[in-house]
């Protein structure tokens, strides 16, 4: 783990551009889909798997109308997004993506804080996250706990996917 001096920490805090948020509109379908695919591809999955996952990574106008989707903006450019499916006091975190160039810089946590505040404002008490195995450490660092697992079969390979729960 990199150890930073107080001066380095202060420099990063002062010089980190602000992350802002806006609700997604139907005009955002292409950029949201591109962010999801780029972020999923960051984990070095085979390209043929990415192609198989594309339907689930595609954001449509219907999804934007039906789900609570917010885009994180960094200097007026989309940096990531999240999508909540609101089911009363519980919501499913259906999508949570950050462009690869922004991963590991603290923006994921800022996006998580915004999402948790949005969930609170909707009176959501619990988030259920069907996580990619690569993302589980991030969600656990944010306070999620393992609630179980789901099995997925891809090209004959059985994959165990973590199902996480995050109290809001």
Is a pLDDT exceeding 70 seen at residue 11?
A: no
CB 162 within 8 A of CB 146: yes
Q: Are 115 and 124 in contact (CB under 8 A)?
A: no
Strand partners, 162: 149
Cα 80 to chain centroid, rounded: 7
Longest Cα pair distance anywhere in the chain, in angstroms?
Answer: 52
pLDDT tens figures, 20-31: 999 999 999 999
Please state the pTM of the whole predicted model: 0.87
Q: Is the pLDDT assigned to residue 96 strictly greater than 70?
A: yes
Helices 29-41 and 47-57, axial angle in degrees (round to 10): 150
**Which of 7-16, 58-67, 116-125 bottoms out in mean pLDDT, i.e. has the lowest?**
7-16
Question: What are the structural domains, with CATH classification, of the chain?
Answer: 22-167 (3.40.630.30)
The pLDDT-based confidence of 10 (bands split at 50, 70, 90) is low
Region 137-142 average pLDDT: 96
Q: What is the pLDDT of residue 128?
A: 98
| 46-56 mean pLDDT | 96
> What pLDDT is stored for residue 18 in this prediction?
87
Beta bridge partners of residue 94, listed in sequence order: none
Alpha-carbon distance of 110 to 131, in angstroms, equals: 19
Distances (CA, A) of 36 to 43, 58, 77: 12, 8, 15
């Amino acid at each position: 783990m990199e150890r930073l001096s107080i001066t380095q920490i202060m420099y990063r805090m002062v010089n980190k551009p602000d992350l802002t948020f806006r609700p997604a509109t139907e005009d955002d379908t292409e950029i949201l889909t591109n962010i999801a695919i780029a972020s999923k591809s960051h984990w070095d999955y085979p390209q043929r798997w990415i192609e198989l996952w594309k339907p689930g990574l595609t954001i449509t106008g219907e999804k934007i109308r039906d789900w609570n989707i917010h885009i994180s903006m960094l200097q007026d450019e989309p940096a990531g997004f999240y999508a909540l499916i609101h089911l009363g006091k519980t919501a499913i975190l259906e999508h949570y993506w950050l462009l690869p160039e922004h991963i590991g810089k603290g923006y994921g946590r800022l996006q998580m804080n915004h999402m948790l505040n949005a969930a609170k404002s909707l009176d959501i008490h619990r988030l259920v996250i069907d996580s990619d195995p690569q993302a589980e450490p991030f969600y656990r660092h944010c306070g999620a706990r393992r609630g179980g697992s789901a099995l997925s079969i891809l090209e004959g390979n059985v994959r165990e996917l973590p199902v996480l729960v995050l109290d809001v």
